[in-house]
Structure 1
Amino acid sequence: MNFTINDLPDRTVKPREKGYTMVMDKGLSLRGVEDLIETAGHNTDIVKLGWATSYVSPNLDAKLKLYKDAGIPVYFGGTMFEAFIVRGQFEDYRRLLDKYQLQHAEISDGSITIPHEVKCEYIHKLKEQVTVISEVGSKDVQKIFAPYKWIQLMKAELEAGSWKVIAEARESGNVGIYRDSGEVRQGLVDEILTQIPEEKIIWEAPQKPQQVWFIKLIGANVNLGNIAPADMIPLETIRLGLRSDTFDHFLNDQV
């Protein structure tokens, strides 16, 4: 930090298990990646190349090298996995991970239907190759799971070998753990946290009110995902109680 302010929340440091921030790269240019690394690389724990943007993005090798040289892991979005699976190309997908020397992979079923036991088999197989992050929840706003189902799915995927589970929200933040208005489904989150350790969940929270809500609920070191590159520095100020949204929340904890 540039100077000292007393009694701020303690933030974990990289590499960390809690307070994890996943950035959504939806097609950044090489200069954009350099800007992200310069301004917020120290707060960026991992980068997701959103859905299947890696298929159409130019200079993919150069982009991956920039992230690698900065010590920031990268993975392809879960929709890329699903695009291979629905076409019967699982082994091709595995070779793709090796080709680009990726250390993480996301397994999801937000756009296609995969029997859950089959999804868990994919997790079990891929965990021998990479660190698996699996996503729970559908991108279809009409598919609403009961809290017990979310818990059941998350538990099974963690037991199958997922390092962390992502609570689905899309890049827009209006499905899954949110209503179509973007409001958090509070009862669902509360129920999930009775059974799943908070450090095992990455909550997709692309909107500032969502970030604020989770930080107030869980604390400065909640795991958050689908964060836009331009929101990384603002998010850190929210985590530290240095923005009006959480200023009193953390101040009251300290004084």
Structure 2
Amino acid sequence: MLNYILKNVPVRTEKPRDHGLTMVMDKGLSVREIEDLLEVAGPHIDIVKLGWTTSYVTPNLSRKLKVYQDAGIPVYFGGTLFEAFIIRNQFDDYRRILDKYGMKHAEVSDGSIDIPHEEKCEYIRKLSEQVTVISEVGSKDAQKIFAPYKWIKLMKAELDAGSWKLIAESREGGNVGIYRESGEVREGLIDEILTEIPKDKIIWEAPQKDQQVWFIKLVGTNVNLGNIAPAEVIPLETIRLGLRGDTFNHFINSL
């Protein structure tokens, strides 16, 4: 619900949405902080990631998950937790953990460890029989720079294996993967990916405001964006709607 009428505002998809997603990174919010966040920003949050392996050390994890779930907001464990189980040969234990906590989504990634890609796709296939799979493409190692054709090849294979959405890696800092160390977007890489991969299938990790603005201007109001800090959910929604200086003229001129 919006508080008043403004003409010629970009049209957002409605929840539950398949695109135009805002994925929030929860790096250790308390139950009370989540309740406060949802009171203000709940209508604009589509899915929440409990960052990397924070769920392993979070007190009252079940209570925390229930707050999100009761609000109708899907939540999932970060891909690093998946990798932590895999490197220890505990895949079946990981699957049991998903069931134990009533998880409906899971992330499959290989940003911290090397997994042969066919093996990674097999994990996607197996998990997709149990939950909705989001797979992450790209490395957390700034020295590993993939050519565009390789990003496209990996993304296509993971979609074929059963991924619902693909996350384009940037870490929570937004300085690896699809970005240079400075945080600048690798524009040529993004352009090439979008020639082969449907835009609605990709969640672009974009923790920095300039990155969010860039993708909204390129793809549109309903681009999927991830790794959004809790305090940035409302600001991001105003950027999507052309109601912040960064996109104000962009949308006024196109409406």
Same fold (TM over 0.5): yes
Residue aligning to 1:118: 119
For 2:40 and 2:190, the matched residues in 1 are separated by: 32
Residue aligning to 2:211: 210
1:51 and 2:42 matched: no
Residue aligning to 1:71: 72
Once the 2 structures are TM-superposed, how far is the Cα of residue 36 of structure 1 from its aligned partner?
1.3
1:143 and 2:144 matched: yes
34-43 or 193-202: which moved more?
A: 34-43
1:3 and 2:4 matched: yes
1:127 and 2:128 matched: yes
**RMSD of aligned Cα (Å):** 0.4
The one-letter amino acid of 1:127's match is S
Residue aligning to 1:39: 40
Residue aligning to 1:168: 169
Once the 2 structures are TM-superposed, how far is the Cα of residue 189 of structure 1 from its aligned partner?
0.2
Unaligned runs of 5+ in 1: none
Q: TM-score of the superposition, structure 1-length normalised?
A: 0.99
Once the 2 structures are TM-superposed, how far is the Cα of residue 251 of structure 1 from its aligned partner?
0.3
Residue aligning to 1:61: 62
Residue aligning to 2:29: 28
Residue aligning to 1:234: 235
Once the 2 structures are TM-superposed, how far is the Cα of residue 35 of structure 1 from its aligned partner?
1.2
CA offsets 1:191-217 (integer angstroms, 9 cap, x no match) = 000000000000000000000000000
For 1:184 and 1:32, the matched residues in 2 are separated by: 32
For 1:35 and 1:151, the matched residues in 2 are separated by: 39
For 2:6 and 2:32, the matched residues in 1 are separated by: 33
Residue aligning to 2:19: 18
- Provide the secondary structure at the position in 1 that maps to 2:12: coil
For 1:113 and 1:36, the matched residues in 2 are separated by: 36
The one-letter amino acid of 1:131's match is T
CA offsets 1:149-205 (integer angstroms, 9 cap, x no match) = 000000000000000000000000000000000000000000000000000000000
1:101 and 2:107 matched: no
For 1:152 and 1:36, the matched residues in 2 are separated by: 38
Percent identical: 76
Q: TM-score of the superposition, structure 2-length normalised?
A: 0.99
CA offsets 1:22-80 (integer angstroms, 9 cap, x no match) = 00000001111001111111111100000000000111111001001100010000000
Once the 2 structures are TM-superposed, how far is the Cα of residue 15 of structure 1 from its aligned partner?
0.9
The one-letter amino acid of 2:109's match is S
For 2:142 and 2:49, the matched residues in 1 are separated by: 22
CA offsets 1:218-249 (integer angstroms, 9 cap, x no match) = 01000000000000000000000000000000
Unaligned runs of 5+ in 2: none
The one-letter amino acid of 2:199's match is E
For 1:69 and 1:127, the matched residues in 2 are separated by: 23
Aligned length: 254
- Provide the secondary structure at the position in 2 that maps to 1:135: strand
The one-letter amino acid of 1:196's match is I
